[in-house]
């Protein structure tokens, strides 16, 4: 009977993660990173996966902003060069 209960729980878990567009990851990190993630988790009172999600979203946003700035600089330099000719 216990095997059926575990199987049913696993089926519900898989359906939930699919429905919520979640993906399970298994990663290896340095011990210091693990400690820092646990500290951030306690500090912000949220699970580690939410901390990682927030950090990833912030990093992605900042990197996209940086890339736009770099592209803008390239365009400006090309325009300045064209004006010189």
pLDDT digits (tens, 9 = 90+) for 43-83: 999 999 999 999 999 999 999 999 999 999 888 888 888 87
- Report pLDDT for 85: 77
**Res 2 pLDDT > 80:** no
Q: Is the pLDDT of residue 41 over 90?
A: yes
Residue 1's pLDDT is what?
Answer: 63
Cα(48)–Cα(36) distance, rounded to whole angstroms? Answer: 10
Q: Return d(Cα 81, Cα 4) in angstroms, integer.
A: 72
Residue 84 has pLDDT above 80, yes or no: no
pLDDT: is 81 or 42 the higher one? 42
Q: Where does 1-85 have alpha helices with state H?
A: 2-19, 31-44, 48-84
């Amino acid at each position: 009977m216990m095997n059926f209960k575990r199987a049913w729980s696993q089926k519900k878990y898989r359906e939930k993660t699919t429905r919520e567009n979640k993906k399970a990851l298994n990663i290896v990190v340095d011990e210091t990173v693990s400690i820092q993630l646990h500290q951030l988790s306690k500090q912000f009172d949220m699970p580690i996966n939410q901390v990682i999600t927030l950090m990833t979203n912030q990093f992605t946003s900042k990197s996209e902003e940086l890339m736009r700035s770099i592209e803008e600089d390239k365009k400006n330099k090309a325009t300045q060069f064209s004006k010189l000719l």
